[in-house]
Amino acid sequence: MSRVKLNVLGISYSQTQSGAYALVLSEEEGKRRIPIIIGGFEAQAIAIQLEGLTPPRPLTHDLFLNFAKSFSIEIIDVQIYKLEEGVFFSKLHCDNGKKEVYIDARTSDSIALALRFGCPIYTTEDILEKAGIVLDIEDKPEDSPHTEKKTTVQPKSDSLTEGLKKLSVEELNALLEEAIMNEDYEKASKIRDELNKRT
């Protein structure tokens, strides 16, 4: 069965399910995308890693990384191997130098760990054919609602975004530090986006 390498394209707020997010994966050598609906906690864990934010205390996935590294366990790759009734099934391919094992895991957790371990993510051609969609994003204007962005978790309300536009860079940096200390990573990612627009 042929494997296809995937990259994490981004996360956006799900318009169809309240409190859920859409994690978008893209094939490395092609235009197909796989949207996967995930929960808020998992979206936050993925988003902070994508944004390069460092929480004041380790989150669950960071704890898993620290634990594994302490015992010389590496994740070689993540494999999304099955799609059944809209649910994606994944496994972690692990190695401790003496033994290789496969561990069943939720896809959202697998992606969060893959980002932390810096390991590749694979799926099968069969899954891409079933769940893959092709979005012609190159021809769409920047403000199009269908334009994919490589940014992070976006809350429903745009009031925070509008408010951030009125603040100075110094105020934004102070607010970013406060958001990270309060472990409000959704807010932190919005502030980071606004700071990136100004640099």
pLDDT per position as a tens digit, 126-160: 999 988 887 654 444 444 444 343 433 443 345 77
Looking at per-residue confidence, does 181 or 117 come out higher?
117
Of 111-115, 117-121, 150-154, give the lowest mean pLDDT range.
150-154
pLDDT, tens digit, 9 for 90 and up, residues 155-178: 334 577 788 888 888 888 888 888
Mean of the per-residue pLDDT values of the chain: 84
Assess whether 120 and 35 both reside in one domain.
Answer: yes
Domain extent, residue 78, equals 3-154
Assess whether 14 and 57 both reside in one domain.
Answer: yes
Assess whether 106 and 161 both reside in one domain.
Answer: no
CA dihedral defined by 61, 67, 70, 71, rounded to 10 degrees?
-120
Assess whether 183 and 111 both reside in one domain.
Answer: no
Assess whether 193 and 106 both reside in one domain.
Answer: no
Angle, in degrees to the nearest 10, between helices 185-198 and 169-181: 160
Contacts 24+ apart (CB under 8 A), 88-97: 88/36, 88/127, 88/131, 94/68, 96/71, 96/72, 97/72
CATH number, residue 21: 3.10.690.10
Assess whether 148 and 160 both reside in one domain.
Answer: no
Mean pLDDT computed over 33-60? 91
Assess whether 52 and 120 both reside in one domain.
Answer: yes
Assess whether 113 and 163 both reside in one domain.
Answer: no
Q: Tell me, what's the pLDDT at 185?
A: 67
- For 117, the 3-state DSSP assignment is helix
| Residue that terminates a domain, selected from 122, 139, 154 | 154
Mean pLDDT computed over 16-29? 85
Number of domains in the chain: 2
Assess whether 97 and 161 both reside in one domain.
Answer: no
Q: Are 33 and 26 in contact (CB under 8 A)?
A: yes
CA-CA distance, 141 to 197, in Å (whole number)?
Answer: 18
Assess whether 123 and 48 both reside in one domain.
Answer: yes
